[in-house]
Amino acid sequence: MAPVVNARLPESGKSTVYDTSETIDPENVVLNGGFLVKLLDISVDPFIRGRMRRPPPGSQPLIPRFEVGKPLNGYAVGVVLRSEFAGVKAGDHVEGILPFMNYIIKQDLVGHLRVLDNGYNIPWTTYLGVLGMPGKTAYCGWKEYSHAKKGQTVFVTTAAGAVGSLVVQLAKLDGLKVIASAGSDQKVNFLKEIGADVAFNYKTTSTTEVLIDVSKDSDALLLSRYWDHVGGEALDAALEAAKPRAQFIECGMASGYANNGYSQVNKLFLVIPKCINLQGFNYNGAQLEQKYREEFMTFVAPLVASGRIKYREAVWNGMETFCDALVGVLQGTNEGKAVVHVADDTMTPITNGRLLFHSIPEGLPEPGRTTIYDTTELIDLDALELEGGFLLKTLELSVDPYMRGRMYESDGQSYVPSFVVGQPLNGYGVAVVIRSENSEVKVGDHVHGFIDHAQYSIKQSFEGLEILENRFNLPWSTFLGALGSAGKTAFMAWKEFSKAKQGETVFISTGAGAVGSLVIQMAKRDGLKVIASAGSDTKVQYMRELGADVAFNYKTTNTSAVLSKEGPIDIYWDNVGGETLDAALDAAKSRARFIECGMTVEYTEGKNVPVKNLLQVIIKSISLNGFIVSLLEPKWNQEFLRTVPPLVASGELKHKQEIFDGLDKVGHALAAVLSGKTIGKAVVHVGDD
C-alpha cells in the first residue's frame, strides 16, 4: 500500500495495490504448529480510512496504522483448510482480524479471532455485519450507555449503515421514538421499513430543521438520546435539540475521515448548560465484547435468524475491489453492511491423482502399461459428500511383492482380491483424516490400513483401518515398514512358528528386504546362528551390519553349497520359493520349522515354479507353515506394540527404507522390488502431512 498523507479519499491502485506476486501451495505449506485459513469475506468499515494516516508524533493510536508495503488487515471471515493447532480443526470457520490475503497461516487465536458456531445456518457475511463487529458495536454501546426508557426520543445518524440500522431496531424494541437520517431516498425507505418514526435524507433536508419541527409538537420529543456516527454539523444540530441531561453516544465521526481526521464541532459548549453526558466508546477498547458476548448472541442471533431484526448487505466481488468498496462506504453510497466477497466456502476443485490397474502383465509389471497414472478426476475437498464417512489424504503407500499376485484375473482362491482393470490399486498405506462424519475418527487422525492408491479417498467404515499412535514421533513411513505390515509379519510369524532355541541355525532368504532384515535381528536376539541370502553385494554388506553370521549373494554363490557348509538348518524363513526352497529342504534337520512368508519367484516369472524336494517334509518330519499376518494379529498385536516400537525408536532394531516420490512412481517402485533392486522397505511418498 502506498503512503497516504493528503488524499481526501483512498484511490484504488494508488492508496492500495492488489498484488498477485506471492504463490502458495495450500496442501503442502509448512504450518509450524499453526493453521491455514482461506479468506472468504472481508468487512469494509469507515475506521479503515483512519488507519491510512501517519499518527501524530508521540501518539499511540488505539488501532495500529497500516504499514506501507504490507497487506491491509481487518475484520474478516475465513475457513480453516488445515490445522496443527489444538484450538481449531479443518472445516472450522473463524472471524476476527485477519490479513487481506487469499490464504493466511495463523499460529494461534489472537487478534479477536474466534471459531464461529453457525447454529442458525445463516450466511457467513452476517458475522461481519449484524452478528459481527458492527452488530456488537450497536448492541454493546446501546446496552452500556443509552440507559433508555420507554417513550424517550433518540436521533440516529447514518442510520441505514451496518451499526445504525441495528440501533434503530434496538431502540424500537425498547419503546423509543426514533428519528433517523441517511444520505439517499432509497436509504430513507429502508429506515421506514425497519421502524424509524421519522426518517429523512440529510442531503436534501436540513437536520436542524427536522429536529426543530419534531420538538415543536411536544417537549417530550426533545432529544433524550443521540447516537452519533458523523460528528460535525449533525452533532451541532443534536446539541441544540437535546434535552437537559441528554445522553450522547459517540460511535464515529465520519465527517472527519475524509478531512484529515478532523470533525469540526461548533456548539460543544452546550454540554455545560444542558448537563449533557457525551460518551465516546470503542467497542474493542472498552472491553464491552467480554461483558455482553453471551447476551448478544442469545438475544440478537435468534432475531436475525427469524427475520425480526432486518439487515442489508452491499457485497463487492473480488479482493481487488476493496478500495472501491471503502470509497463507497466513505461517500455513503452503500446501503447496509459493505462486504468484499473474496472466495466461496469451497475449495477450487483440484486434481485427484490415481494409479489405475490397466492390464494384466505377463512377467514383471510395466509402468505405463500395467499401471497408468491418471489425473482426469477432479475433487472439491470442501464440498465432497461424505455420506457419514471420512475423507483421507494419502501420505505414504507400501510397495510389496504380493501386489504382483493381485495382477491376475480373479479365481476366487486368493486371500486378497485381484486388482480390477480400470480401477485404482489399493494396499497398505498411511493417510490423514481431513474431514469426517464418522464418530470413530476425527480430523487430524492418522490411519493405517488398506487404502486406494489415490491422493484423496473416501472411506465409509473403519473396517481394515487402525488409528496410529505415534508416541515416539517417528516418520509415518515407519508404520509401513518396521512398525507396519512388514514388521508385524516378521515379529508375529517368528513368535508363532519359529520355536527358536539358542544355538540353533536359521536360513533367511531375501534377508535385506523389509521383512527378512527384521527376521535376521530377531533371530540374533534369540541367540541363533543366522545364514542370510540376498541378490547383490551391497545387500550382503547390509545383512552383515544387521548381524548375519553368514551372508551371501545367491546370484554369484550357490545356495546349496553354502547350506551344505554352514548347515544343517533348524529353521527356514522363506520369501522366495523355487530352487531356494528345494535347497533348504535338502539342508534341513529332522523336525525343522519352515515359515513360508512368500514366493517371489512365482511373482517375477509369472507362473508356478515347481518344488522338487517336498518329499523331505515327510522324511524329516518338517513343519512347513504358510500364514497370513492378519490372522496372527489378535494373538500377537499387543506384544508387538509393547516390544517393537521402543526398539525401533532407540535404534536397537535397524531398518532401511527406499522412498519413491510421487504417486506416479508406484509402478516403478513395484518393478524395482520384484527385480530385487531395493534394500529394506519400499515406500511411495504421496503427500506431506
Q: What single string gives the DSSP state of each residue in 490-552? A: HHHHIIIII---TT-EEEESSTTBTTHHHHHHHHHHTT-EEEEEESSHHHHHHHHHHT-SEEE
Portion of the chain with pLDDT greater than 90, in percent: 65
Give the position of cell 544355538.
503
Average confidence (pLDDT) over 211-221: 72
pLDDT digits (tens, 9 = 90+) for 525-541: 999 999 999 999 999 99
How confident is residue 6, by pLDDT bands cut at 50, 70 and 90?
very low
Average confidence (pLDDT) over 449-470: 93
Q: Above 90 in pLDDT, residue 584?
A: yes
pLDDT digits (tens, 9 = 90+) for 265-313: 889 999 899 899 999 987 665 578 788 988 999 999 999 999 999 999 9
Q: What is the pLDDT of residue 7?
A: 31
Pairing of strands 103-106, 93-99: unpaired
CATH class of 133-310: alpha beta
Q: What is the pLDDT of residue 606?
A: 54
The C-alpha atoms of residue 24 and residue 15 are separated, in whole angstroms, by 25
All three cell numbers of 676: 530385487
pLDDT digits (tens, 9 = 90+) for 364-383: 899 999 999 999 998 888 77
Q: What is the pLDDT of residue 412?
A: 59
Q: What angle do CA 184, 157, 248 make, to 5 degrees?
A: 170
Q: Above 80 in pLDDT, residue 3?
A: no
Average pLDDT along the chain: 89
Signed CA dihedral, 166, 171, 175, 180: sign only: negative
Q: Above 80 in pLDDT, residue 607?
A: no
Average confidence (pLDDT) over 130-143: 92
485-654, CATH topology level: Rossmann fold (3.40.50)
What is the distance between the terminal CA atoms of the chain, rounded to a whole angstrom?
A: 35
Q: What is the pLDDT of residue 115?
A: 93
Q: Above 70 in pLDDT, residue 10?
A: no
Q: What is the pLDDT of residue 159?
A: 94
Q: What is the pLDDT of residue 48?
A: 87
Q: What is the CA radius of gyration of the chain?
A: 37
pTM of the full predicted structure?
0.56
Q: Above 70 in pLDDT, residue 111?
A: no
How confident is residue 4, by pLDDT bands cut at 50, 70 and 90?
very low
Average confidence (pLDDT) over 257-263: 58
Give the position of cell 487422525.
445
Q: What is the pLDDT of residue 67?
A: 87
Average confidence (pLDDT) over 45-70: 77
Q: What is the pLDDT of residue 1?
A: 26
The whole-angstrom distance between residue 307's C-alpha and the CA centroid of its chain comes to 34
Q: Which CATH number fits domain 35-51+72-129+316-341: 3.20.20.10, 3.90.180.10, 3.40.47.10, 1.20.1080.10?
A: 3.90.180.10
How confident is residue 110, by pLDDT bands cut at 50, 70 and 90?
confident
Q: Which CATH number fits domain 373-475: 3.40.50.2300, 3.90.180.10, 3.30.420.40, 3.40.50.300?
A: 3.90.180.10
Q: Of 140, 144, 141, 196, nearest to 165 (Cα)?
A: 196
Q: How far is CA 254 from CA 161, 183, 332, 667, in A?
A: 12, 13, 10, 66
Q: What is the pLDDT of residue 548?
A: 98
Domain boundaries defined on the chain: 35-51+72-129+316-341, 133-310, 373-475, 485-654
The C-alpha atoms of residue 512 and residue 540 are separated, in whole angstroms, by 8
Q: Above 70 in pLDDT, residue 218?
A: no
Q: What angle do CA 577, 582, 587 make, to 5 degrees?
A: 125
Signed CA dihedral, 407, 408, 413, 417: sign only: positive
The C-alpha atoms of residue 482 and residue 369 are separated, in whole angstroms, by 31
pLDDT digits (tens, 9 = 90+) for 64-86: 888 888 999 999 999 998 888 98
Average confidence (pLDDT) over 575-598: 94
Q: What is the pLDDT of residue 257?
A: 59
Length of the chain: 689
How confident is residue 168, by pLDDT bands cut at 50, 70 and 90?
very high
Q: Of 518, 459, 453, nearest to 489 (Cα)?
A: 518
Domains 133-310 and 485-654 share a fold: yes
The 3-class SS string of 265-332 reads: CCCHHHHCCCCCEEEECCCCCCCHHHHHHHHHHHHHHHHHHHCCCCCCEEEEECHHHHHHHHHHHHHC
